[in-house]
Amino acid sequence: MTERNKISGVSLYIIGIGMGNPGCLTVEAAQAIEAAKLLVGAKRMLAPYEKEKSCAVSYRTEEIVEIIEEYMRTGAGNIAVLLSGDSGFYSGAKALLAALREAWGEETVQRRVIVLPGISSLSYFCAKIGKSWEDAELVNLHGAEENLWQAVLTHEKVFAVTGGNAQKYLEELAAHGLGGAFGYVGENLSYAAPQPLQERISSGTVRELARQEYAPLSVLYLENPEAVGANLWGLPDESFTRGEVPMTKAEVRAVVMSKLRIREKDIVYDIGAGTGSVSVEMALTARRGKVYAIETNPKAVALCKLNKDKFCLHNMEIVEGMAPAALEQLPAPDAAFIGGSKGQLREIIDLLVRKNPALRVVINTITVENTAAALELLETENFTDQEIVQLQVSRGLKVGASHMLTAHNPVTVLSARGRG
């Protein structure tokens, strides 16, 4: 075993075993498994060792911690927890280490736990198909709500862990204009006969790949040479399904999004969502977060749903109801946009500050009275970094052989941050 093990008396290994074939283990991982008295992991991972090792089948973090602690009280020898792939790539190692630190403390974890990396599905699969991956966008669709469509639209290379739904995601891409992208699907990576699981790699356009069915253990590598780049603020108004409901225009949306400063894991509210145009851009930006579109008008709610589906936004949730009551049960926001308040602006601001005293807020107003009321509220609630921007947008219109500019109503954009 390693010198570190001999010196520190480590008794617990957390091991990334690669895709599952023991032939893909690192030498150090194979040695640790050989020396362990107890192996813990999902049944598929334990199968090669169950005839010669004591094994405990579990893949839930809380159960694994209980198994470890029980064995340490009654057993002797090292324990190895087997986790698929690499310990640092969408692995259960992150949650397990956090649980152990909470139970034992950082010092004990440092002294008694060694994490061994494995070959990730990313590096294995890209090697198989002869592709580099250092510039690929990585997407986790296993138990997450990330937007694969947005990733493929904006990046030339995308690798995705599918969570058993490869065909569904390929069908979505094909149905929403990305069927011409080229892709590879890897199933049951590293497995070979006589095992029941066997590796298969398929390639073709997204449209072609969407016609097949795939094993639950599947990954995707997709190439889109016509990717549009990451900035999706101020999308053309024609991008959205519109009706009789007022919509925040492209130029105003671009300013609102710049003031919100949304990060990719943020939780964001769009209060008075209307057609959902701002919600869509929020969700495309916070693609590892969550956007709540709050709207009370049934016609607007229907348009929000159409635009959500149009952009394949699994991380956008439409909440039908009136703010602030409709916000009560939602998780605390990192940022909020108030496009319409139905006369409840004070109550909405009070609730937002109560949920997160440090949130970023942007308010759009059209009338002078609403602007004054919003400014007063921001001062009363002790917001900082206050900014006021008034937009007067005029769009060109061709009249005969000439062009003229037609003015839209001015919009005031107020932005601020709580002091919490």
Q: What per-residue confidence (pLDDT) applies to 2? A: 43
Q: What per-residue confidence (pLDDT) applies to 397? A: 87
Q: Do 255 and 215 reside in the same domain of the chain? A: no
**How many domains in the chain?**
3
Chosen domain end from 83, 99, 119: 119
Q: What is the mean pLDDT of residues 289-312?
A: 95
For the ranges 3-7, 183-187, 209-213, 395-399, which has the lowest average pLDDT? 3-7
pLDDT digits (tens, 9 = 90+) for 214-242: 999 999 999 999 998 877 889 999 999 99
Go through the chain and tell me how many residues it has. 420
Q: Do 94 and 134 reside in the same domain of the chain? A: no
Chosen domain end from 92, 119, 146: 119
Q: Do 154 and 7 reside in the same domain of the chain? A: no
Tokens encoding 126: 């890209």
Q: Tell which residue, 259, 315, 318, has the closest CA to residue 288.
A: 315
Instruction: Please indicate, yes or no, whether the overall pTM of this predicted structure exceeds 0.85.
Output: no
What is the span of the domain harbouring residue 78?
3-119
Q: Do 115 and 128 reside in the same domain of the chain? A: no
Query: Quick one: what percent of the chain has pLDDT higher than 70?
Result: 97
Q: Do 250 and 362 reside in the same domain of the chain? A: yes
Helix (H) or strand (E) holding 44: helix 43-46
Chosen domain end from 119, 139, 170: 119
pLDDT digits (tens, 9 = 90+) for 202-218: 999 999 999 999 999 99
Q: What per-residue confidence (pLDDT) applies to 420? A: 78
Regarding predicted confidence, which is higher, 395 or 126?
Answer: 126
Whether 174 is in a domain gets the answer yes
Q: Does position 34 have pLDDT exceeding 90, yes or no?
A: yes
Whether 85 is in a domain gets the answer yes
Q: Tell which residue, 246, 204, 207, has the closest CA to residue 221.
A: 204
Whether 48 is in a domain gets the answer yes
Q: 116: pLDDT confidence band, cut at 50, 70 and 90?
A: very high
Across the chain, mean pLDDT equals 91
Q: Tell which residue, 326, 376, 384, 379, has the closest CA to residue 355.
A: 326
Q: How many CB atoms lie within 10 A of CB 150?
A: 22
CA torsion, points 118, 123, 128, 132, in degrees to nearest 10? -160
Q: 339: pLDDT confidence band, cut at 50, 70 and 90?
A: very high
Give the CA angle between residues 48, 51, 56 to the nearest 5°.
80
Q: Does position 81 have pLDDT exceeding 70, yes or no?
A: yes
Whether 232 is in a domain gets the answer no
Please report, in angstroms and rounded to a whole number, the separation of the first and last CA atoms in the chain. 50
Q: Do 404 and 293 reside in the same domain of the chain? A: yes
Q: Write the CB contacts of 264 (distance below 8 Å, at least 6 apart in sequence).
A: 285, 286, 287, 288, 289
Q: Strand, coil or helix: what is 335?
A: strand
CA distance 5 to 198: 36
Q: Does position 150 have pLDDT exceeding 50, yes or no?
A: yes
Q: Do 61 and 154 reside in the same domain of the chain? A: no
Q: Do 345 and 258 reside in the same domain of the chain? A: yes
Tokens encoding 352: 């937002």
Q: Do 372 and 297 reside in the same domain of the chain? A: yes
pLDDT digits (tens, 9 = 90+) for 264-297: 899 999 999 999 999 999 999 998 899 999 999 9
Whether 231 is in a domain gets the answer no
Q: What per-residue confidence (pLDDT) applies to 408? A: 86
- CATH number of the domain where residue 268 is located: 3.40.50.150
Whether 67 is in a domain gets the answer yes
Q: What per-residue confidence (pLDDT) applies to 10? A: 57
Q: Do 59 and 70 reside in the same domain of the chain? A: yes
Amino acid found at 312: C
Q: Does position 371 have pLDDT exceeding 50, yes or no?
A: yes
Tokens encoding 146: 């990330």
